[in-house]
Amino acid sequence: MKQFRVGIVGCGEAAQILHLPSLYQLADQFAVTALCDVSPVVMGGVGDHWQVPKRFADYHELVQQDDVDVVLIANPNAYHADVTLAAVEAGKHVLVEKPMCITLREADAIIAARQKANVVVQVGYMRRYAPAFVRACELVRQMEKICLARVHDVIGHNALIIEPTSRVIRGTDIPKDVLAEASAIQNRLIVEAIGDAPAPIKSAYSLLLGLSSHDISAMRELLGMPNGVLYAAQRQGGLYLSAAFDYGSYVCQFETGVDDLPRFDASLEVYGSDQVLRVVYDTPYVRNLPIRLVVTRANEHGVTEQHEHPSWGDAFLIEWQAFYDNIVNHQDPKTSAEDFRQDLVLFQQMIERMR
Protein backbone atom coordinates (compact mmCIF):
# COMPACT_ATOMS: atom_id res chain seq x y z
CA MET A 1 0.00 0.00 0.00
CA LYS A 2 1.41 3.39 -0.97
CA GLN A 3 1.78 5.90 1.83
CA PHE A 4 1.18 9.55 0.89
CA ARG A 5 3.15 12.31 2.61
CA VAL A 6 0.98 15.16 3.84
CA GLY A 7 1.82 18.84 4.27
CA ILE A 8 -0.66 20.81 6.38
CA VAL A 9 -1.22 24.54 5.83
CA GLY A 10 -3.00 26.03 8.86
CA CYS A 11 -2.61 24.03 12.08
CA GLY A 12 -5.45 25.45 14.21
CA GLU A 13 -8.58 23.88 15.65
CA ALA A 14 -9.62 21.88 12.59
CA ALA A 15 -6.13 20.47 11.98
CA GLN A 16 -5.52 19.68 15.67
CA ILE A 17 -8.90 18.20 16.67
CA LEU A 18 -10.20 16.76 13.40
CA HIS A 19 -7.48 16.03 10.84
CA LEU A 20 -4.30 15.08 12.71
CA PRO A 21 -6.03 12.34 14.77
CA SER A 22 -7.63 10.96 11.58
CA LEU A 23 -4.29 10.94 9.76
CA TYR A 24 -2.64 9.27 12.77
CA GLN A 25 -5.32 6.59 12.64
CA LEU A 26 -4.65 6.09 8.90
CA ALA A 27 -0.88 5.75 9.35
CA ASP A 28 -0.64 3.05 6.65
CA GLN A 29 -1.98 5.49 4.09
CA PHE A 30 -0.71 8.88 5.26
CA ALA A 31 2.29 10.38 7.10
CA VAL A 32 2.43 14.07 7.97
CA THR A 33 5.84 15.38 6.88
CA ALA A 34 5.44 19.17 6.89
CA LEU A 35 3.48 21.92 8.62
CA CYS A 36 2.89 25.57 7.82
CA ASP A 37 1.41 28.17 10.14
CA VAL A 38 1.96 31.89 10.63
CA SER A 39 2.12 31.27 14.38
CA PRO A 40 5.45 29.86 15.61
CA VAL A 41 3.70 28.86 18.87
CA VAL A 42 1.13 26.74 16.97
CA MET A 43 3.67 25.27 14.57
CA GLY A 44 6.13 24.44 17.36
CA GLY A 45 3.52 22.95 19.69
CA VAL A 46 1.72 20.94 17.02
CA GLY A 47 4.98 19.91 15.30
CA ASP A 48 6.52 18.66 18.57
CA HIS A 49 3.38 16.82 19.67
CA TRP A 50 2.89 15.01 16.35
CA GLN A 51 6.65 14.78 15.62
CA VAL A 52 6.48 16.51 12.25
CA PRO A 53 10.00 17.26 11.00
CA LYS A 54 9.54 20.14 8.54
CA ARG A 55 7.95 23.46 9.48
CA PHE A 56 7.40 26.56 7.36
CA ALA A 57 5.96 30.01 7.93
CA ASP A 58 5.19 30.43 4.20
CA TYR A 59 3.00 27.94 2.31
CA HIS A 60 4.90 28.61 -0.94
CA GLU A 61 7.83 26.72 0.57
CA LEU A 62 5.73 23.83 1.87
CA VAL A 63 4.11 23.10 -1.49
CA GLN A 64 7.55 22.85 -3.16
CA GLN A 65 8.82 20.06 -0.88
CA ASP A 66 9.66 16.75 -2.59
CA ASP A 67 8.50 14.84 0.48
CA VAL A 68 5.01 16.34 0.30
CA ASP A 69 2.58 14.47 -2.00
CA VAL A 70 -0.67 15.96 -0.75
CA VAL A 71 -1.58 19.26 0.90
CA LEU A 72 -4.31 19.75 3.49
CA ILE A 73 -5.51 23.36 3.47
CA ALA A 74 -6.96 24.39 6.83
CA ASN A 75 -5.93 28.02 7.21
CA PRO A 76 -8.42 30.95 7.08
CA ASN A 77 -10.91 30.95 4.20
CA ALA A 78 -9.39 34.09 2.64
CA TYR A 79 -6.30 32.09 1.59
CA HIS A 80 -7.89 28.82 0.44
CA ALA A 81 -7.86 29.63 -3.28
CA ASP A 82 -4.29 30.95 -3.33
CA VAL A 83 -2.92 27.95 -1.42
CA THR A 84 -4.94 25.50 -3.54
CA LEU A 85 -3.58 27.07 -6.74
CA ALA A 86 0.01 27.04 -5.47
CA ALA A 87 -0.28 23.38 -4.40
CA VAL A 88 -1.96 22.26 -7.64
CA GLU A 89 0.60 24.11 -9.75
CA ALA A 90 3.35 22.33 -7.77
CA GLY A 91 1.71 19.02 -8.79
CA LYS A 92 0.30 18.16 -5.34
CA HIS A 93 -3.07 16.60 -4.58
CA VAL A 94 -5.22 18.84 -2.38
CA LEU A 95 -7.77 18.31 0.35
CA VAL A 96 -9.10 21.81 0.95
CA GLU A 97 -11.35 22.61 3.88
CA LYS A 98 -14.67 24.21 3.04
CA PRO A 99 -15.13 26.73 1.56
CA MET A 100 -12.80 25.93 -1.36
CA CYS A 101 -12.89 29.63 -2.23
CA ILE A 102 -15.06 32.74 -2.01
CA THR A 103 -15.61 33.88 -5.61
CA LEU A 104 -16.58 32.21 -8.89
CA ARG A 105 -13.41 33.66 -10.42
CA GLU A 106 -11.32 31.69 -7.91
CA ALA A 107 -13.40 28.54 -8.47
CA ASP A 108 -12.87 28.75 -12.22
CA ALA A 109 -9.12 29.29 -11.78
CA ILE A 110 -8.89 26.21 -9.54
CA ILE A 111 -10.95 24.09 -11.96
CA ALA A 112 -8.69 25.09 -14.87
CA ALA A 113 -5.45 24.57 -12.91
CA ARG A 114 -6.57 21.17 -11.62
CA GLN A 115 -7.44 19.96 -15.11
CA LYS A 116 -4.03 21.08 -16.38
CA ALA A 117 -2.07 19.50 -13.52
CA ASN A 118 -4.21 16.33 -13.45
CA VAL A 119 -4.24 16.08 -9.66
CA VAL A 120 -7.09 15.44 -7.20
CA VAL A 121 -8.73 18.45 -5.55
CA GLN A 122 -11.25 17.33 -2.93
CA VAL A 123 -13.36 19.72 -0.85
CA GLY A 124 -13.62 18.83 2.85
CA TYR A 125 -17.36 18.19 3.05
CA MET A 126 -16.97 15.27 5.47
CA ARG A 127 -20.71 15.10 6.25
CA ARG A 128 -21.25 13.81 2.69
CA TYR A 129 -18.92 10.85 3.31
CA ALA A 130 -20.83 9.64 6.39
CA PRO A 131 -22.34 6.19 5.68
CA ALA A 132 -25.74 7.27 7.08
CA PHE A 133 -25.83 10.11 4.54
CA VAL A 134 -24.74 7.87 1.65
CA ARG A 135 -27.47 5.37 2.63
CA ALA A 136 -30.05 8.20 2.75
CA CYS A 137 -29.06 9.20 -0.80
CA GLU A 138 -29.69 5.60 -1.95
CA LEU A 139 -33.10 5.52 -0.27
CA VAL A 140 -34.11 8.90 -1.70
CA ARG A 141 -33.30 7.66 -5.21
CA GLN A 142 -35.76 4.79 -4.59
CA MET A 143 -38.56 7.03 -3.30
CA GLU A 144 -41.52 7.24 -5.64
CA LYS A 145 -42.51 10.69 -4.55
CA ILE A 146 -40.99 13.52 -2.49
CA CYS A 147 -43.50 15.94 -1.00
CA LEU A 148 -41.29 18.12 1.20
CA ALA A 149 -37.70 18.42 2.41
CA ARG A 150 -36.05 20.29 5.23
CA VAL A 151 -32.44 21.24 6.02
CA HIS A 152 -31.95 22.38 9.60
CA ASP A 153 -28.68 23.47 11.27
CA VAL A 154 -28.83 25.43 14.52
CA ILE A 155 -25.74 25.06 16.68
CA GLY A 156 -24.01 26.72 19.60
CA HIS A 157 -20.71 28.57 19.11
CA ASN A 158 -17.96 25.99 18.52
CA ALA A 159 -16.05 27.14 21.61
CA LEU A 160 -18.90 25.95 23.86
CA ILE A 161 -18.11 22.36 22.85
CA ILE A 162 -14.38 22.65 22.09
CA GLU A 163 -13.31 24.25 25.40
CA PRO A 164 -14.51 21.42 27.66
CA THR A 165 -13.50 18.59 25.31
CA SER A 166 -10.14 19.47 23.65
CA ARG A 167 -6.81 21.12 24.21
CA VAL A 168 -6.01 23.46 21.30
CA ILE A 169 -2.67 25.21 20.89
CA ARG A 170 -3.62 28.72 19.78
CA GLY A 171 -1.76 31.40 17.85
CA THR A 172 -1.49 33.92 20.66
CA ASP A 173 1.66 35.26 18.99
CA ILE A 174 0.17 36.18 15.59
CA PRO A 175 0.88 39.86 14.86
CA LYS A 176 -2.23 42.05 14.63
CA ASP A 177 -1.44 43.10 11.06
CA VAL A 178 -1.39 39.43 9.93
CA LEU A 179 -4.86 38.90 11.42
CA ALA A 180 -6.08 42.17 9.90
CA GLU A 181 -4.77 41.12 6.48
CA ALA A 182 -6.84 37.91 6.50
CA SER A 183 -10.04 39.77 7.31
CA ALA A 184 -9.27 42.50 4.73
CA ILE A 185 -8.74 39.87 2.01
CA GLN A 186 -11.92 38.03 3.06
CA ASN A 187 -13.90 41.28 2.91
CA ARG A 188 -12.46 42.19 -0.50
CA LEU A 189 -13.31 38.75 -1.91
CA ILE A 190 -16.86 38.89 -0.52
CA VAL A 191 -17.39 42.26 -2.21
CA GLU A 192 -16.03 40.75 -5.44
CA ALA A 193 -18.47 37.83 -5.06
CA ILE A 194 -21.68 39.67 -4.17
CA GLY A 195 -20.91 43.35 -4.76
CA ASP A 196 -20.83 45.93 -2.00
CA ALA A 197 -23.53 45.18 0.55
CA PRO A 198 -24.67 46.10 4.06
CA ALA A 199 -22.79 44.31 6.87
CA PRO A 200 -25.60 41.79 7.65
CA ILE A 201 -25.66 40.61 4.02
CA LYS A 202 -21.89 40.16 4.05
CA SER A 203 -22.19 38.21 7.33
CA ALA A 204 -24.90 36.08 5.73
CA TYR A 205 -22.55 35.26 2.83
CA SER A 206 -19.81 34.34 5.36
CA LEU A 207 -22.24 32.01 7.14
CA LEU A 208 -23.18 30.42 3.81
CA LEU A 209 -19.49 29.87 3.02
CA GLY A 210 -18.93 28.45 6.51
CA LEU A 211 -21.48 26.29 8.32
CA SER A 212 -24.16 26.38 5.62
CA SER A 213 -21.87 25.11 2.88
CA HIS A 214 -22.10 21.68 4.59
CA ASP A 215 -25.90 21.83 4.54
CA ILE A 216 -26.41 23.17 1.04
CA SER A 217 -23.89 20.84 -0.57
CA ALA A 218 -25.44 17.83 1.22
CA MET A 219 -28.87 19.00 0.05
CA ARG A 220 -27.59 19.06 -3.54
CA GLU A 221 -26.23 15.52 -3.32
CA LEU A 222 -29.42 14.25 -1.66
CA LEU A 223 -31.96 16.05 -3.86
CA GLY A 224 -30.04 17.49 -6.83
CA MET A 225 -29.65 21.14 -7.79
CA PRO A 226 -32.88 23.08 -7.11
CA ASN A 227 -34.65 24.96 -9.90
CA GLY A 228 -34.25 28.16 -7.94
CA VAL A 229 -34.51 29.99 -4.62
CA LEU A 230 -38.13 30.90 -3.75
CA TYR A 231 -37.11 33.18 -0.90
CA ALA A 232 -34.11 33.79 1.35
CA ALA A 233 -33.88 36.06 4.35
CA GLN A 234 -31.31 36.94 7.01
CA ARG A 235 -31.97 38.22 10.52
CA GLN A 236 -29.93 39.06 13.63
CA GLY A 237 -27.12 40.69 11.65
CA GLY A 238 -26.81 37.78 9.21
CA LEU A 239 -26.37 35.15 11.94
CA TYR A 240 -29.75 33.49 11.23
CA LEU A 241 -30.85 32.49 7.72
CA SER A 242 -34.03 31.05 6.26
CA ALA A 243 -34.67 30.04 2.67
CA ALA A 244 -36.85 27.86 0.49
CA PHE A 245 -35.54 25.99 -2.54
CA ASP A 246 -37.82 25.17 -5.45
CA TYR A 247 -37.70 21.52 -6.51
CA GLY A 248 -40.72 21.73 -8.78
CA SER A 249 -43.09 19.21 -7.19
CA TYR A 250 -41.86 20.02 -3.68
CA VAL A 251 -40.08 22.69 -1.64
CA CYS A 252 -36.99 22.28 0.54
CA GLN A 253 -37.01 24.52 3.61
CA PHE A 254 -33.64 25.67 4.94
CA GLU A 255 -32.95 27.25 8.32
CA THR A 256 -29.75 27.91 10.22
CA GLY A 257 -28.33 29.94 13.07
CA VAL A 258 -25.61 30.07 15.69
CA ASP A 259 -26.52 30.67 19.35
CA ASP A 260 -25.20 30.23 22.90
CA LEU A 261 -26.49 26.72 23.66
CA PRO A 262 -23.77 24.06 23.86
CA ARG A 263 -25.52 21.60 21.52
CA PHE A 264 -25.54 20.62 17.85
CA ASP A 265 -28.92 20.35 16.12
CA ALA A 266 -28.38 19.52 12.45
CA SER A 267 -30.46 17.31 10.19
CA LEU A 268 -31.67 16.70 6.64
CA GLU A 269 -35.23 15.46 6.22
CA VAL A 270 -37.04 14.11 3.18
CA TYR A 271 -40.79 13.51 3.34
CA GLY A 272 -42.37 10.99 0.98
CA SER A 273 -46.06 10.13 1.10
CA ASP A 274 -45.55 6.97 3.21
CA GLN A 275 -42.06 7.41 4.70
CA VAL A 276 -39.81 10.09 6.16
CA LEU A 277 -36.00 9.96 6.09
CA ARG A 278 -33.92 11.95 8.54
CA VAL A 279 -30.10 12.17 8.68
CA VAL A 280 -29.01 13.46 12.09
CA TYR A 281 -25.57 14.99 12.60
CA ASP A 282 -23.72 15.67 15.84
CA THR A 283 -20.77 17.97 16.52
CA PRO A 284 -17.61 17.05 14.59
CA TYR A 285 -15.44 18.29 17.48
CA VAL A 286 -16.14 15.20 19.59
CA ARG A 287 -14.72 12.48 17.37
CA ASN A 288 -16.62 9.37 16.34
CA LEU A 289 -20.04 10.51 17.47
CA PRO A 290 -22.57 8.50 15.45
CA ILE A 291 -24.25 10.11 12.43
CA ARG A 292 -27.65 8.43 12.24
CA LEU A 293 -30.34 7.77 9.68
CA VAL A 294 -33.89 7.57 11.01
CA VAL A 295 -36.53 6.10 8.70
CA THR A 296 -40.20 6.41 9.70
CA ARG A 297 -42.59 4.24 7.70
CA ALA A 298 -46.26 3.41 7.76
CA ASN A 299 -47.03 -0.15 8.83
CA GLU A 300 -50.31 -2.00 8.92
CA HIS A 301 -51.62 -0.36 12.09
CA GLY A 302 -49.31 2.57 12.80
CA VAL A 303 -45.72 3.60 12.19
CA THR A 304 -42.27 1.99 12.53
CA GLU A 305 -39.24 4.12 13.34
CA GLN A 306 -35.91 2.56 12.40
CA HIS A 307 -32.60 4.05 13.60
CA GLU A 308 -29.54 3.13 11.53
CA HIS A 309 -25.93 3.81 12.39
CA PRO A 310 -24.35 1.96 9.49
CA SER A 311 -20.75 1.91 10.76
CA TRP A 312 -18.31 3.26 13.28
CA GLY A 313 -15.54 5.59 12.12
CA ASP A 314 -15.43 9.36 12.13
CA ALA A 315 -16.67 11.15 9.00
CA PHE A 316 -13.25 12.83 8.68
CA LEU A 317 -11.61 9.40 8.58
CA ILE A 318 -13.93 8.27 5.79
CA GLU A 319 -13.30 11.53 3.94
CA TRP A 320 -9.52 10.86 4.06
CA GLN A 321 -10.03 7.24 2.94
CA ALA A 322 -12.10 8.49 -0.02
CA PHE A 323 -9.33 11.01 -0.83
CA TYR A 324 -6.79 8.16 -0.78
CA ASP A 325 -8.92 6.04 -3.13
CA ASN A 326 -9.48 8.99 -5.44
CA ILE A 327 -5.73 9.58 -5.79
CA VAL A 328 -4.86 5.91 -6.26
CA ASN A 329 -7.67 5.33 -8.78
CA HIS A 330 -7.26 8.68 -10.58
CA GLN A 331 -10.91 9.52 -10.02
CA ASP A 332 -12.74 12.76 -9.39
CA PRO A 333 -14.10 13.17 -5.86
CA LYS A 334 -17.83 13.65 -5.51
CA THR A 335 -16.91 16.80 -3.55
CA SER A 336 -14.85 18.16 -6.45
CA ALA A 337 -13.97 21.75 -7.35
CA GLU A 338 -16.75 21.70 -9.97
CA ASP A 339 -19.19 20.45 -7.34
CA PHE A 340 -18.22 23.24 -4.94
CA ARG A 341 -18.77 25.83 -7.69
CA GLN A 342 -22.48 24.91 -7.65
CA ASP A 343 -22.66 25.91 -3.99
CA LEU A 344 -21.29 29.34 -4.84
CA VAL A 345 -23.93 29.72 -7.56
CA LEU A 346 -26.69 28.92 -5.05
CA PHE A 347 -25.20 31.19 -2.37
CA GLN A 348 -25.23 34.08 -4.82
CA GLN A 349 -28.87 33.39 -5.74
CA MET A 350 -29.75 33.34 -2.03
CA ILE A 351 -27.96 36.66 -1.46
CA GLU A 352 -29.91 38.18 -4.36
CA ARG A 353 -33.17 37.08 -2.68
CA MET A 354 -32.04 38.49 0.68
CA ARG A 355 -31.54 41.84 -0.97
Write out the residues near ligand NAD by the rule CB under 6 A. Answer: 9-15, 36-39, 42, 59, 74-77, 79, 97-98, 124, 126, 171, 174, 182, 210, 284
CB of 19 to ligand NAD, least distance (A): 9
Q: What span, in angstroms and rounded, lies between the C-alpha atoms of 181 and 201?
A: 21
CB of 59 to ligand NAD, least distance (A): 5
Report the residue number whose CB is nearest to ligand NAD. Answer: 12
CB of 300 to ligand NAD, least distance (A): 42
Instruction: Give the residue ranges of DSSP H helices in 19-103.
Output: 20-25, 40-50, 59-63, 80-89
Indicate the residue among 43 and 270 with the shorter CB distance to ligand NAD. 43
Indicate the residue among 213 and 229 with the shorter CB distance to ligand NAD. 213
Helix (H) or strand (E) holding 30: strand 30-36
Residue pair 251/135 in contact (Cβ under 8 Å)? The answer is no
Indicate the residue among 148 and 174 with the shorter CB distance to ligand NAD. 174
CB of 187 to ligand NAD, least distance (A): 15
For 333, list phi and psi in degrees, rounded to 5.
-70, 155
CB of 318 to ligand NAD, least distance (A): 13
DSSP 97: P
Q: What span, in angstroms and rounded, lies between the C-alpha atoms of 35 and 48?
A: 11
Q: What span, in angstroms and rounded, lies between the C-alpha atoms of 11 and 92?
A: 19
DSSP 99: P
Indicate the residue among 238 and 284 with the shorter CB distance to ligand NAD. 284
Residue pair 19/74 in contact (Cβ under 8 Å)? The answer is yes
CB of 208 to ligand NAD, least distance (A): 12
Indicate the residue among 97 and 339 with the shorter CB distance to ligand NAD. 97
Residue pair 221/340 in contact (Cβ under 8 Å)? The answer is no
Residue pair 290/249 in contact (Cβ under 8 Å)? The answer is no
Indicate the residue among 271 and 339 with the shorter CB distance to ligand NAD. 339
